[in-house]
Chain A
Amino acid sequence: MNAPLFDIGVSVARIAVFFAFVFGLVVIMTWVERKGAAYMQDRRGPNRARILGMTLGGIFHPLADALKFLFKEDFIPDSAHRLFYQMAPMFALAPAILTIAIIPFGPPVTVAGRQIPLQIADLNVGILYLFAVSGMAVYGVVLAGWSSNSKYPLLGGLRSSAQMISYEVSMGLSIVGILMVFSSVQLSEIARGQGELLFGILPKWGVFVQPLGFILFLVAQYAEANRTPFDLPEGESELVAGYHTEYGSFKFSMFMMAEYLHMVVGAAVVATLFFGGWQFPYLGDAGFLFPGGAAVAVPAWAVLLLRIGSFVAKTLFFAWLYVWVRWTIPRFRYDQVMRLGWKVMLPLALLNIFVTGLVLLLIDRGGV
């Protein structure tokens, strides 16, 4: 087989499949969010859009939304900085799309004698790529707020960006413990490392070795994505819609798409770092191997399917958690958000690194 063409084919195929999966999930999440909100508030939610007389619980609403956004008037306020105004949604969406590349959907598979990671790009800088790319999202927010040249977006954009950079610090520090335990920044390596067992019983998942790190990371992620309880940049009662007040048509939709992409990718990253990624508890390459010594042989294709299924299930749960939290926890006040970020999360993250270091040294070196 022609080697370069094979490699290009693999690369393009992976991008096509994983991109379609994540984007499909984004579309479904907009529906889940509205439907979930409705059921929590004891109402029906979207149920009108229909194709050939079928509503299927309003599943066609995201499609209707997209079409409607596309054909709405494309609006640029007279006083806006036109070019920057147009660029802001691009700065929001493009980094969100790039983050998809880092998600490991399963263990590497062997095709035609070659190891192929089930990940668009199994980079050696791993999680650093995620931070580098998602750090660009702040420009979308700042530019949108500033270029609208209007008071509410400006204040919303500033608040939002200040919150994002504050929590980026805690987020970066909260995963240092995980990197110390698994001695790698590569998501594929971290996922593989979580296949071991702790004390012979418990799967060595991130959440069991880094409980504090997990909580800090999860909270920082909600703040990064500007989701409730940290969605005060768009607190309707004080700032209208925040940084995207002046945006309409598909440009507004791009900000929404970016937010949902961050949610879905964020859910996948939490699942990978702290819940074993594609690992299925007690499932080895040859089959189940339970702590008691019982073993069940499972064919290789079933192992692969179980692992990918396990990853998807975990991702779906954490994506749903965003919706669940949104309609359960009330919004913080701005000074509370900033205090939590700098005076609680940051010291706790540093403490977590310190304690992790001590424990690891005591385990590895057996006493002093």
Chain B
Amino acid sequence: MANFLSSIRFSDPYFSVLLMLVIGVGMSVAFVLLSQALGPKRYDRVKYSVYECGVDPLTTASVRVSVKFYLLAILFILFDLETAFLYPWAVLFRQLGWFGFLEMLVFLLILLAGLIYAWKKGALEWQ
């Protein structure tokens, strides 16, 4: 047992993250279960129907969503990846010097072309 314990690096901050994960997920699940267990349950058809300004729902919510959200998510992935590349670059920036600066400038200019294209095509317009 002592041997097993000493093989773990408990001082590793990721161990604390694991503990936090257990606490966070545990608390979330516990709250939902607790609220289910403690509250009263009195069924009523009208009460258990979804909200629609006091009348019976006219149509279901199975509406299709605008394609704009899809485009937005694509743009989001693009810029998320871009930032993912920017972080290591930013940390090393003072070592890389002018060369690193030009490297990133080329990278960003190409991506900027994508943003400008989306902008001109109206993918960023919301009415």
Interface on A for B, CB 8 Å cutoff? 3-5, 7-8, 10-12, 14-15, 19, 69-80, 86, 89-90, 93-95, 97-98, 100-101, 117, 120-124, 128-129, 148-154, 158, 162, 165-166, 168-169, 172-173, 176-177, 179-180, 183-185, 240, 245-246, 249-251, 253-254, 334-335, 338-339, 342-343, 346, 350, 353-354, 357-358, 360-361, 364-365, 368
CB contacts (< 8 Å) of A120 on chain B: these are 13, 16, 20
Count residues of chain B with CB under 8 A from any CB of chain A: 70
- Per the bound structure, the CA–CA distance linking A100 and B19 in Å amounts to 12
A-B CB contact pairs (8 Å), 29 listed:
A4-B10, A7-B11, A15-B19, A72-B35, A72-B39, A73-B40, A78-B45, A78-B49, A79-B57, A90-B25, A90-B28, A90-B29, A94-B28, A100-B20, A121-B16, A149-B50, A149-B62, A158-B65, A168-B80, A180-B93, A249-B35, A251-B35, A343-B119, A343-B124, A350-B108, A353-B108, A360-B93, A360-B94, A361-B98
Instruction: Flag if A180 contacts B14 (CB, 8 Å).
Output: no
The residue of chain A having its C-beta at the shortest distance from the C-beta of B25 within the complex is: A94
> Which B residues, 33 to 65, have Cβ-Cβ distances below 8 Å to chain A?
34-36, 38-42, 45, 47-52, 57, 60-63, 65
Interface on B for A, CB 8 Å cutoff? 5-6, 8, 10-11, 13-17, 19-21, 23-25, 27-29, 31-32, 34-36, 38-42, 45, 47-52, 57, 60-63, 65, 69, 72-73, 75-76, 79-80, 83, 86-87, 90-94, 97-98, 101, 104-105, 108, 112, 115, 119, 124-127
Instruction: Flag if B115 contacts A8 (CB, 8 Å).
Output: no
Instruction: Flag if B101 contacts A169 (CB, 8 Å).
Output: no
- Per the bound structure, the CA–CA distance linking A251 and B36 in Å amounts to 9
- Per the bound structure, the CA–CA distance linking A5 and B47 in Å amounts to 53
> Which 8 pairs across A and B sit closest by C-beta, in order of nearness?
A250-B35, A7-B10, A150-B50, A97-B24, A179-B90, A90-B28, A172-B83, A121-B13
Please give the distance in Å from B59's CB to the nearest CB on chain A: 8
CB contacts (< 8 Å) of A172 on chain B: these are 79-80, 83, 86
- Per the bound structure, the CA–CA distance linking A350 and B107 in Å amounts to 12
Instruction: Flag if B34 contacts A250 (CB, 8 Å).
Output: yes
CB contacts (< 8 Å) of A73 on chain B: these are 39-42
Instruction: Flag if A93 contacts B28 (CB, 8 Å).
Output: yes
| A90 touching B76 in the complex, CB below 8 Å, given contacts A150-B51, A173-B83, A342-B124 | no
Instruction: Flag if B101 contacts A361 (CB, 8 Å).
Output: yes
- Per the bound structure, the CA–CA distance linking A100 and B24 in Å amounts to 10
- Per the bound structure, the CA–CA distance linking A184 and B25 in Å amounts to 30
- Per the bound structure, the CA–CA distance linking A120 and B40 in Å amounts to 39
Contact of A89 among B28, B52, B69 (CB under 8 A): B28
Please give the distance in Å from A341's CB to the nearest CB on chain B: 9
The residue of chain B having its C-beta at the shortest distance from the C-beta of A124 within the complex is: B13
CB contacts (< 8 Å) of B20 on chain A: these are 15, 97-98, 100-101, 120-121
Contact of B32 among A89, A169, A173, A365 (CB under 8 A): A89
Instruction: Flag if B14 contacts A176 (CB, 8 Å).
Output: no
CB contacts (< 8 Å) of B11 on chain A: these are 7, 10
CB contacts (< 8 Å) of B38 on chain A: these are 70-71, 74
- Per the bound structure, the CA–CA distance linking A105 and B29 in Å amounts to 28
- Per the bound structure, the CA–CA distance linking A340 and B111 in Å amounts to 19
Contact of B49 among A10, A79, A128, A154 (CB under 8 A): A79
- Per the bound structure, the CA–CA distance linking A172 and B85 in Å amounts to 11
Please give the distance in Å from A351's CB to the nearest CB on chain B: 11
Contact of B94 among A94, A123, A180, A342 (CB under 8 A): A180
The residue of chain A having its C-beta at the shortest distance from the C-beta of B115 within the complex is: A346
CB contacts (< 8 Å) of B83 on chain A: these are 169, 172-173, 176
